Chain A
Amino acid sequence: MKRFSIFSLARNALTGHRNWGKMWRSPDPKREYDVIIIGGGGHGLGAAYFLAKEHGITNVAVLEKGWLGGGNTGRNTMTVRSNFLREDSVPFHEMSLDLYHQLSRDLNYNLMVSQRGMITFIQSSAANRVALQMANTMHIYGAEYRMLTLDEVKRRIPIFDPSPDMRLPVRGGVYQPRASMVRHDAVAWGFARAADARGVDIIQNCEVTGVRQEGGAVTGVETSRGLIKGKKIGMAVAGHGSVVASMVGQRLPIITQPLQAWVSEPVKPILNEIVVIRSYYGTYLMQSDKGEIVVGQGCDPYPSYAQRGTFPIIEDATTSMLEVFPSFGRLKLLRHWAGMLDIPYDGSPIISKTNTKGFYIDVAGSGGFKTTPAAAKTFAHLIANDFPHPLAEKLGLDRFASGRLVQEGGVSANR
């Protein structure tokens, strides 16, 4: 793998950048692999990378039906954080944050991990209670999450200018200093380049249409480019979890729902932190390195695979944003899109074996970008060893049979 650095840039400038070579090969699929990963996003490519790097398994193929990073990896709001509620998920998300902060050096590919910190506004005593519960639990696991007074919020965010008659006045905040923003496309490209360099075959435009089984164990996959054999198959297809798992007759506790995101026109730097106006429709926003204000909110209110969202979500989030940043009224929306999340019943990731031998699943859950490196590492561990990584022990499908869920997301009561 050619090392990337300022020197290699200068050297290649002399020859008009003609000899950079391919970031990853585009081989034809072999007839058989030790491990087949379905899904060429951050989770799939990352799992292949960790299989090669930490488990010495390099006879691996990553099958992507479209283009690398074309699923949710290319559609999120670049936010990575670990502020969670439960002892079974805080350490897992903390590991993800740690891995992100060293990934650029490990992959020798600049993911532009910008440690901005995240401030969640507190606008009611109920919100205060939830923040305290999170802060105290995370404190046990060494994750810094501290309360801020209103003055500290105003000092950190100069453009914070709430109107006097706010419906839910901001009384303070809770702050995770290590929360960061990561250039999402670069995660897929960085993992792809590093995995390819270790011998992993990355095969695009190769859609899996069926899974072959014998005696309850997988033997390979049918794809748009022919049959590919393999005794271990890892599924990491955020948004299509149910579709692919149904190929082995496995039903999952998930619903596919659009999660929208949108950006403004780029403006000069005015906002450093990631800001969450939680009590106003769960709105959150930040400013990208390019200068665009990136905004997101909760999921659309019904299942969909359409990779586009409904507009009222943007209207409610914009009203919320204007309540704390009224000068944004003149800023303009440039583009809005949507990813498709596999939302589990309890909102936590599912990294698990299934009823079919050799068929493993990594269902990212609500917001899989923040868990990409941790999920990839623990998924690789599960595939290689057939038993879960310590930090993913509680994140298997078995938690649904026993009812011992890892309750992170809000649960729709009338299920």
Chain B
Amino acid sequence: MLEIPCPWCGLRNENEFICGGEAQRKRPADPDRETDEAWADYLYNNANPKGVVTEWWWHVSGCTLWFKIDRNTLTHEITPIEELPE
């Protein structure tokens, strides 16, 4: 059971969060200018690496913040990468 570092609430058990997927899937600024192939890649494809990936996580039953962490998908080692905006 993962222990995930929420920037506001600190370390919490995985059952308080929802995984938001790969963070580098940024929504294109102007989708109309995307080719069909680029748009399909954004919609459906993932890097899905075996190793470190930057992910969104949502502290849904806590402070409801969305935040990013680096997580190793093989060892589940987690590195917090977001400090709170003061």
Asked if the two chains touch in their complex, CB atoms less than 8 Å apart, one says yes
A302 contacts the other chain (CB 8 A): yes
* A256–B73 CB distance below 8 A: yes
* A253–B46 CB distance below 8 A: yes
The contact size tier of chain B is 20 to 34
* A306–B1 CB distance below 8 A: no
* A415–B74 CB distance below 8 A: no
* A255–B44 CB distance below 8 A: no
Chain A proximity of B60: nearest CB distance (Å): 11
* B45–A251 CB distance below 8 A: yes
Chain A proximity of B27: nearest CB distance (Å): 11
A356 contacts the other chain (CB 8 A): no
Closest A residue to B74 by beta carbon equals A305
A310 partner, pick from B14, B37, B43, beta carbons under 8 A: B14
Cα of A241 to Cα of B46 in the assembled complex, Å = 11
A303 partner, pick from B18, B73, B75, beta carbons under 8 A: B73
Q: Mark A329-367, 1 if CB is under 8 A from B, else 0.
A: 000000000000000010000000000000000000000
Closest A residue to B42 by beta carbon equals A415
Q: Which residues of A contact B40 (CB under 8 A)?
A: 400-401, 403
* B21–A415 CB distance below 8 A: yes
If the complex has contacts A251-B41, A415-B43, are A306 and B75 also in contact, measured as CB distance less than 8 A?
yes
Closest B residue to A412 by beta carbon equals B21
Majority secondary structure, A binding face: loop
* A305–B2 CB distance below 8 A: no
Cα of A345 to Cα of B44 in the assembled complex, Å = 6
- A interface size (C-beta, 8 A): 25
If the complex has contacts A256-B73, A310-B1, A312-B15, are A303 and B43 also in contact, measured as CB distance less than 8 A?
no
* B50–A243 CB distance below 8 A: yes
Chain B proximity of A342: nearest CB distance (Å): 8
* B48–A256 CB distance below 8 A: yes
Cα of A312 to Cα of B75 in the assembled complex, Å = 19
Cα of A302 to Cα of B76 in the assembled complex, Å = 11
Q: Which residues of B contact A414 (CB under 8 A)?
A: 20
Chain B residues 1-19 with CB under 8 Å of chain A are 1-2, 14-15, 18-19
* A311–B74 CB distance below 8 A: no
Q: Which residues of A contact B50 (CB under 8 A)?
A: 240, 242-243, 256, 305
Q: Which residues of B contact A321 (CB under 8 A)?
A: none
Q: Mark A242-279, 1 if CB is under 8 A from B, else 0.
A: 11000000011111100000000000000000000000
Chain B proximity of A40: nearest CB distance (Å): 18
A301 contacts the other chain (CB 8 A): yes
* B48–A242 CB distance below 8 A: yes
Q: Which residues of B contact A254 (CB under 8 A)?
A: 46, 48
Query: Interface on B for A, CB 8 Å cutoff?
Result: 1-2, 14-15, 18-21, 36-37, 40-41, 43-50, 53, 55, 73-76
11 further A-B pairs in the complex, CB-CB below 8 A; given A242-B49, A251-B45, A401-B37:
A242-B47, A256-B73, A303-B53, A305-B50, A306-B73, A306-B74, A306-B76, A310-B14, A403-B40, A415-B21, A415-B43
What are 19 inter-chain pairs, A to B, with CB distance below 8 A?
A: A242-B47, A242-B49, A242-B50, A243-B49, A243-B50, A251-B41, A251-B46, A252-B48, A253-B44, A255-B46, A256-B73, A301-B18, A302-B2, A306-B73, A310-B1, A310-B14, A312-B14, A401-B40, A415-B21
